[in-house]
Amino acid sequence: MTEAGQGDPRTGPLAGHYIVCGGNALAHRLIVELIEHYEVPVVALVPDRGRDHGPRIEQLSGVAEVLEFSTVSEEALRAAGVDGARGVALMDGTDQENIHAALTAQGRNPGIRIVLRMFNQRLGEHLEMLLANCAALSGSATAAPAFANGALGRPGSVRVGDRYLYVAYGQEIDGSQICLVADRIDRQDLSRLRLLPDAGGRAAEFIALARRLGSEGPIELGSPASPDAAEDRGEVAVLQTLTSEPPVRIPWWKRARWWLQDVLRYFTSVRLRLVLTTALAAVLIGGYVIWHYGGSLGWAVYFTLLDLAGAAQPDQPGLDTPGGPWVRLAQVVVTFCGITFVPVATAIVVDMLATGRRGLPRAPGSRTRDHVVVVGLGNVGTRVAALVHETGVPVVCIERDPQARGIAAVRALGLPVLVGDAPLASQLRRARVQYSRAVVAVTTDDAANLEAALEARAVRPEVRIVVRLFDDDFAHHVYATLGNVASRSVSYLSAPAFAAALMGREVLGTLSVYRHVLLIAELAAEEGNGLVGRDVHRIESEGGVRVLAVRLARRPADYLWNFADRAHRLAAGDRIVVAATRSGLARINTLETEGS
């Protein structure tokens, strides 16, 4: 292993390898993916081998070489053997630095595969069109949906054509299942879980599902009615489809009620609210009196509103007014009550116009209920807050660093943000966690995320909690100890997608099966690769792969789900949608390499 400035001990130039640039958690996970599942030579380029994940990367036995350079310069790429490399992954640095490094790598090796991490997805799309054989991905964008769906209590989904694929467990399984994706699931011992287990053929999967479901709905595993009780006492997970994502919007009437409460509490004190309540009661009674003696509900409402606005017409002496003194008294009461309501209504209109200005700080108010609290406004937290906000669910954000760039982004959406180094317990109370539906802790510190989870649970034990944890052992202990806590790892969720992109695979999305990752990918059969001439059964027999749908070259717009002809040989132009483990997708890549 070499350091910058020292001589290169290699006896010859590297060739056919992959270069991973970066010393963060995502770079570490990506290297592990490439070594363990794709079994390709990797050269790691880290900014500091003694900091961040540099020591862990250096300890990986499968790494061909670890080089230390502070920046990904042309000198660093040359030392990593970019001229003979098959691909380079840029996992660290700013968007500008990664673009510069990508241009440098392609200048030295025009045919190299380039994958770079970018926060600005729009800029990444332009870069993909500019550079040949390039993929620009966002780790936070890849992982954020899993956090958002966990907070909303709905299954994570991946859109394929006109359907949404999601993972269902146990009692959630219905008749829309496509294939079995996991069995032997024991919530107390997730090490028993098998992802995409060998089922002995497609028919065996559906027979097993039918036995578990039974004729009268799902059978609880472990009960005497279950035929597999003695052999397997765990749950199962299946892949199911939806025609649209399940709605999670809060009813408009609830939001209107909370908004009115918030406005009243903002502009009025307890005494003034008592006066307004009394005045409202008086107006209602006065309107009833006018209606009772006037005989027409429409005219009664009309006169009451005019009187409330101060437009009452006094009776002249000697005129006969329907209702007599009772109607006159009601008009007087309503008119004087209007003097109380008009200033409050004006204040409400001014508040509506003022709060419409985006980017202004706003504190959570009474209308902030059934909301999601996001702790940490880094790249992931910002995207999670935006995704939840798009569903119509209220969001409150907490961030300790006043310089975090996510603060301006979420304030531009009109979301309240609590900024400062105050104790987390008090910040959560200010965020009205006692009325929230979920807390998402996505800071870069595992201990801080766990603290947020425990503090939130102390205030509201039944709140749903989603925490960002990198360490697998730590995550398993947290899950076993705190039953209502779901843990997610950004690098664990996004690294498989980056690895697949580096190998030229098109990953449509990832689905979480507890701490396991299931990849949904679309593969094309092209002349010269190992997919042409293979049938669906042979592709699945390699293990870790299920073919979900086939798109024939003659019918490219149609997704043929659960393709019946398992012996159909793929022709050039055909495409398949697969659910695969990381190793399963790697084996497909090996098949294509052998066929080329």
- Rounded percentage of the chain residues whose pLDDT exceeds 90: 15
Is residue 223 pLDDT above 50, yes or no? Answer: no
Q: At what angle do helices 297-308 and 325-355 cross, to 10 degrees?
A: 60
Which residue from 432, 522, 590, 591 is spatially nearest to 159, judged by alpha carbons? 522
The rounded distance, in Å, linking the Cα atoms of 442 and 150 is 13
Q: Which pLDDT does position 108 carry in this prediction? A: 92
The rounded distance, in Å, linking the Cα atoms of 591 and 568 is 18
Q: Which pLDDT does position 535 carry in this prediction? A: 83
Q: Is 222 left (phi over 0), alpha (psi -120 to 50) or beta?
A: left
Contact 566, 202 (CB under 8 A): yes
Q: Which of 392-396, 441-445, 528-532 has the lowest mean pLDDT?
A: 528-532
* pLDDT tens track for 416-428: 899 988 888 889 9
Higher pLDDT, 434 or 270: 434
The rounded distance, in Å, linking the Cα atoms of 183 and 190 is 11
The rounded distance, in Å, linking the Cα atoms of 208 and 118 is 43
Contact 373, 456 (CB under 8 A): yes
The rounded distance, in Å, linking the Cα atoms of 77 and 21 is 9
The rounded distance, in Å, linking the Cα atoms of 569 and 168 is 31
The rounded distance, in Å, linking the Cα atoms of 297 and 549 is 63
Contact 337, 279 (CB under 8 A): yes
The rounded distance, in Å, linking the Cα atoms of 225 and 320 is 84
Task: Say which CATH superfamily domain 18-137 falls into.
Answer: NAD(P)-binding Rossmann-like Domain (3.40.50.720)
CA distances in angstroms from 37 to 133, 168, 472, listed in the order given: 22, 26, 18
Higher pLDDT, 210 or 83: 83
Joined together, the tokens standing for residue 408 give 């301006």
Choose the most confident range, by mean pLDDT, from 64-68, 166-170, 445-449, 509-513: 64-68
The rounded distance, in Å, linking the Cα atoms of 360 and 354 is 9
Tokens 């609830």 locate to 254
Q: Which pLDDT does position 267 carry in this prediction? A: 56
Whole-model pTM?
0.66
SS3 at position 141: helix
Provide CB contacts within 8 A for 39, sequence distance 6+: 586
- Is the domain 504-595 a CATH 1.10.10.10 member? no
* pLDDT tens track for 355-392: 545 445 566 766 677 889 999 998 889 999 998 988 88
CA atoms within 13 A on the CB side of 216: 3
Overall fold of domain 372-488: Rossmann fold (3.40.50)
The rounded distance, in Å, linking the Cα atoms of 17 and 60 is 16
Q: Which pLDDT does position 490 carry in this prediction? A: 81
* pLDDT tens track for 482-522: 666 777 778 878 888 888 888 877 778 888 887 778 888 88
Joined together, the tokens standing for residue 27 give 């770079």
Q: Which pLDDT does position 505 carry in this prediction? A: 74
DSSP state at residue 52: T
Q: Which helix (H) or strand (E) holds 166?
A: strand 163-169
Cα–chain-centroid distance for residue 308?
49
The rounded distance, in Å, linking the Cα atoms of 206 and 199 is 10
Average pLDDT (50-64) is: 89
Mean pLDDT of the chain: 78
